[in-house]
Amino acid sequence: MAGRRRAVWAGLSLAFALLVGCGGGPAPDAARTDVQQVLDRRAEAVLERDESAYRGTEAPTSDSAGRAGQLATGMAEFANLRSLPLASWSYRLTGFHRTGDRATAAAELRYRIRGYDKAPVTAARALTLTRDDGTWYVASDEPADKAAEQLWEQGAVRAVKGEHSLVLGVGQSAATLRGYAAQADRAVPAVTGAWGDDWAGRVVVLVPESLDEMAGLLGAPASGYRGIAAVTTGEAGGSPDAPADRIIVNPDAYGVLGGFGRQVVLTHETTHVATRADTTAATPLWLSEGYADWVGYRETGRTAVQVAPELQRAVLEGRTPSRLPDDADFGFGSNATRLAQAYESGWLACRMIADRWGEVRLNEFYRAVGEHGQRAGAVEGALREVFDTTPAGFTAEWRAYLRAQLG
């Protein structure tokens, strides 16, 4: 009897387990899988330049006028991508919420530019989708909240390839973009001559139509970049397999510069591309910006007085800085004089190192600071290791150098 009771309970337990396994939780929503498949087809259409297939992922609507406008927007962005030399393009859903035949989704767009990106660039996207007759379609595909725009969202992309560069522009003539490519092609060997050849040796330059569009590519207010000719985006301390950095130009500020100034700007920004893997949270801005300026002016023959007028004014007035600039002194929204003095101070610090200890030791110092990994103790350790000096001793030498060069 006891054996039979055990058998009955075993059978009941098995049946209960099967019931729980079948009905213990909601079935996964197949819509998420369906939407991912739609995005996969959309990505393939972009790579294959297949307009019909791309159009097939766009949401239909009963409103003919709305449908026309919707298609015009979606197809315009598809057309804007035609000149972009893509090696890959894909979407990965990171969030999904459905209410009936409508859904919202968060996705990560990943793409590579052929010949330049060793790893995909990622962009956060916000999508809305609708289902019609059992099929899901994309109703909108936009940057996620606080995410940056992509260049093709601002207009048709024109591509110009140089010997060491790829220039991508919107609202710019081919001749203008060729000018950028020529300057970038001069910048790359100049940077290699100073830093060495342990970097990709090529750059990607984005030229939007205006300051406002530049700010859109950075996902930041335009006011913070007024007067800034260009910036470089990328992963600080990135591995050799990181995506290529992007030099993003402010055409409003860049356009008022002469040929000399434009070349210095692009050489400066290209230096940031070359040094990215060795620029970490440990690297102060006076060193990263000062080094980029040092490379930019390295072979120009310009004197300290010509390059550092704001700092010279301070020295002549008896206001020689008592310390190297803090990171806060480099804020784009800060006082213009303070910002100029910060850049000039960093440049002269790097110039002093090159004059006093040599260019090879300057590069060793830059790398030693970045290798520290964290800010605390990084400069102190590198000064001791490379120059056998202290922060106080280095600062004293730098202040004396300012007075000698600018006094």
Compute CA 84 distance to the chain's CA centroid, rounded to the nearest angstrom. 17
- pLDDT mean across residues, the chain: 90
pLDDT at 63 exceeding the cut of 80: no
Residue 28 has pLDDT above 70, yes or no: no
Residues 155 and 269 in one domain: yes
For the stretch 64-103, pLDDT in tens is 444 455 556 678 999 999 999 999 999 999 999 999 999 9
In a domain, 321, yes or no: yes
Whether residue 236 is predicted with pLDDT greater than 70 in this model: the reply is no
The Cα-based distances of 375 to 64, 76, 279, 382 in angstroms read 59, 46, 11, 11
Q: Identify the residue with better confidence: 298 or 6.
A: 298
The answer to whether residue 17 is domain-embedded is no
Tell me the CATH number at 111.
Answer: 3.10.450.50
pLDDT value of residue 6: 39
In this prediction, residue 263 has a pLDDT band, given cuts at 50, 70 and 90, of: very high
Mean pLDDT of 358-385: 97
**Which has the higher per-residue pLDDT, 167 or 14?**
167
Please report where in the chains the tokens 């396994």 appear, as a residue: 21
Residue 295 resides in a domain? yes
Q: Are residues 56 and 125 in the same domain?
A: yes
Domain encompassing residue 231: 148-276
Q: Per the domain annotation, does 24 fall within a domain?
A: no
Whether 18 maps to a domain, the answer reads: no
Over residues 140-148, the mean pLDDT reads 95
Tell me the mean pLDDT in the region 310-327: 97
